[in-house]
Structure 1
Amino acid sequence: MDTVKRALWHIERCIGEQPTLDRIAAAIGLSRFHLSRIFVEATGRSFSGHVRGRRLSEAARQLADGAPNIMTVALDAGYGSHEAFSRAFKDQFGLTPESLRLRADLSSLTLVEPIPMPDTPIAIEDPEIRSVDTLLLAGLRQFFTYEERAGIPLLWQRFGPHIDHVPDQIPGDAYGVCIRSDDERTDGFDYLAAVPVSSLDRLGEGLVGVRIPPLRFAVFQHRDHVSTIGATCAAAGDWLGRERRAHPASTILMVEYYGLDFDPVTGLGGCEVWVPVRD
């Protein structure tokens, strides 16, 4: 199951490029044959069918939002001609790209969403309790329901071109922050894919800034592939419940810290999971 999680993570990370079977198999160290077999067993869907459906579903979202150029959407989805894109789109959804753009409504479409994998808590080391000073972060922020959290790698993909080009960025680290939603929705959270900055006065276009006040965190080490970070997050939640240390007022729910050892291409190198705790 962890192998399939890794495959799904790599697919979402490069869904806007070309996540071929060869590319993903090489990334996770499997043969084409073995990846194809275990992918179907775990998801009930072929690798190629899942990738095609995911890319067309993202294209559908762009069209429903009024994308002005259908050919640009087609190229983004990996199709070299309007005709090939329209044919694949109609086969997938039963209507043409032009019809969807005019309708601007996805409610009748069966979209292929990122596949959530269960996060079973694992045995982890006792955390370090660490005091962290104010953090200024800039990045992309999006609401996810708990069922939709498998889509977080796609947010990181969208943020990728901004990294190293964010005004006043402090180079080296990256942060994924789960934040209590501004509208007090209880079925999910806001997620911020971000880098640290020295000032929030010059945010780039489309970026949002967040100031995290000084907090004490229980810091858990995640040493495996990043696709399995959910298991460490689940274990951290269990620890909070047992120790009764959850911070009662913090809007910051959890922080993923990616240091210099983390490789965003392979997903290896380890990271940390921080949860705010009361004194």
Structure 2
Amino acid sequence: MTVVQRAVWYIESHSGEDLSLADVAGATGVSAFHLARLFRAATGWPVARYIRVRRLSEAARQLSEGASDILSLALSSGYGSHEAFTRAFRETFGVPPEDVRQRRHLNGLPLLLPLRVVQESSAPAPALRVETIGPLRLAGIEASYLASDTAGIPSQWQRLHGEGSLDSHRYTYGVCSATDSEGRFTYLAAYGIAHARQARAGHRHLHLAPQRYLVVRHEGHVGSIPRTWHALLDRWLPAAGFTAVEAPDFERYDAAFDPRTGYGGVDICVPIH
């Protein structure tokens, strides 16, 4: 059973408890930081948001069956008041809880069912290598995303390439940095600079200190890179005896990568101890 499978099982079997990311991580035997990164790579959901929407989905089911005490339902769902529960319920499903109780059905509600995490075949790990990378001074176009909706990332790269040629840069970088408990993260489509004057107007600057990274080459189309991320974090990294550290990770694109076709290979770089 994978780490994410164990996490989903723990969440579902302890749904009536006040769960945190740290609780779930402790039950699965990994750090909270590692679980957050792995869960997002495997499911597209941040752990905290998955827990919350699953609880609201269960509350909706109970309301459709005629649950009479909304305050008790709110408290058992992790909310401290009727008002907080109603606000979260409406933001998630578009209707207040009273409406679901009155109409006695769930038709049209975007409920979240328990995730089924399919055990992937244990493909052999590709060549893994350790590199010390940095310091890196980067600049580029930054945007914020929920893990479940990253469709805007290709347009960041299109804008960056459209603003001028990047052929003079040995590498370009897609840097991910976690920002909040919801799993919202920032993604920087970036190029290297030697000093701030080289950055284009309006671009975000980022400095990364020297750091050891576990590096793996993703072959094939860039659209399938989430599968390589998942395998690296879930199987290849721990099997190689490494532990990820809390620092930005990134994809490194070199001259072999063709942004027009999405082919050419990409290095995935995960910071390690």
String of CA shifts for 1:11-48, please: whole Å, max 9, x gaps: xxxxxxxxxxxxxxxxxxxxxxxxxxxxxxxxxxxxxx
Contact 2:143 2:187 in 1 (8 A): yes
CA distance in structure 2 between the aligned counterparts of 1:121 and 1:149, rounded to whole angstroms: 23
5+ residue gaps, structure 1: 1-107, 109-117
The alpha carbon displacement at 1:209 in A equals 0.8
Alignment of 1:198-237 (within 5 A): 198-237=194-233
CA distance in structure 2 between the aligned counterparts of 1:197 and 1:276, rounded to whole angstroms: 21
CA distance in structure 2 between the aligned counterparts of 1:222 and 1:135, rounded to whole angstroms: 22
String of CA shifts for 1:52-86, please: whole Å, max 9, x gaps: xxxxxxxxxxxxxxxxxxxxxxxxxxxxxxxxxxx
Equivalent in the alignment of 2:176: 178
- What's the secondary structure of 1:149's corresponding residue? coil
String of CA shifts for 1:197-224, please: whole Å, max 9, x gaps: 1112453222101111101000011111
Q: Judging changes above 3 Å, is the alpha-carbon distance between structure 1 residues 119 and 271 closer, same or farther for their aligned structure 2 residues?
A: farther
String of CA shifts for 1:152-189, please: whole Å, max 9, x gaps: 11221122223437xxx9523211111122xx344221
Count residues in correspondence. 155
- Is 1:264 the counterpart of 2:259 in the alignment? yes
Alignment of 1:48-67 (within 5 A): none
Q: Judging changes above 3 Å, is the alpha-carbon distance between structure 1 residues 192 and 170 closer, same or farther for their aligned structure 2 residues?
A: same
Alignment of 1:93-242 (within 5 A): 123=123, 124-164=125-165, 171-181=169-179, 184-238=180-234, 239-242=236-239
Contact 2:214 2:269 in 1 (8 A): yes
Q: Aligned residues: percent identity?
A: 29
CA distance in structure 2 between the aligned counterparts of 1:171 and 1:232, rounded to whole angstroms: 25
In structure 1, which of residues 237, 243, 246 is the aligned counterpart of residue 243 of structure 2?
246
Contact 1:226 1:268 in 2 (8 A): yes
Equivalent in the alignment of 2:271: 276
After superposition, the CA RMSD in angstroms is 2.6
Equivalent in the alignment of 1:78: none
CA distance in structure 1 between the aligned counterparts of 2:118 and 2:135, rounded to whole angstroms: 30
CA distance in structure 1 between the aligned counterparts of 2:118 and 2:145, rounded to whole angstroms: 16
Contact 2:178 2:186 in 1 (8 A): yes
Q: Judging changes above 3 Å, is the alpha-carbon distance between structure 1 residues 208 and 234 closer, same or farther for their aligned structure 2 residues?
A: same
CA distance in structure 2 between the aligned counterparts of 1:244 and 1:148, rounded to whole angstroms: 32
- What letter matches 1:215 in structure 2? Q
Output the TM-score relative to the length of structure 1.
0.50
- What letter matches 2:237 in structure 1? L
CA distance in structure 2 between the aligned counterparts of 1:150 and 1:120, rounded to whole angstroms: 25
Alignment of 1:6-17 (within 5 A): none
The alpha carbon displacement at 1:258 in A equals 0.6
Larger radius of gyration: 2
Runs of 4+ in 1 over 6 A off after TM superposition: 118-122
